[in-house]
Amino acid sequence: MHGNDFSGADLVGVAFRYGVDLTRQRLPARSDYLYLPDAEAALHRALALLVDRPADDLTARVEHSLRRMLDREVGTGQRQVLFREVDYSSKGVLRPPDRLMFDVLRKAAAS
């Protein structure tokens, strides 16, 4: 899969898996999307950011989600990942675990 122009698309519930090279696609660049060009490194950085948080249920849920992404996405060959925040919301509102997950993922992506 290569050469597709998704820049104007609204990718509702879309997940690229099994090694789709997202560098060979034109992706949406809107603020509600989060692109991780090196998904494995970014997910590990996000997990490291959780170390300084309290060891509570919220942190444990986010850690579980990030580890599942490492397994499900990176573990099956996906090098880059594109997330759409609204796909994780209910009626436009992110639940606390998803909000924290996107916060740490955005920080990890920026570093």
The partner residues of 81 in beta bridges, in order of sequence, read 36
Residue 12 main-chain phi, psi, to 5 deg: -80, 115
Average pLDDT, rounded, for the chain: 90
User: Looking at per-residue confidence, does 63 or 91 come out higher?
Assistant: 63
Percent of the chain with pLDDT over 90: 59
Residue 18 has pLDDT above 70, yes or no: yes
For residue 66, pLDDT beyond 90: yes
pTM: 0.87
Using pLDDT thresholds of 50, 70 and 90, give the confidence band for residue 1: low
Q: Which is more confident, 86 or 42?
A: 42
Residue 29 in tokens: 């660049």
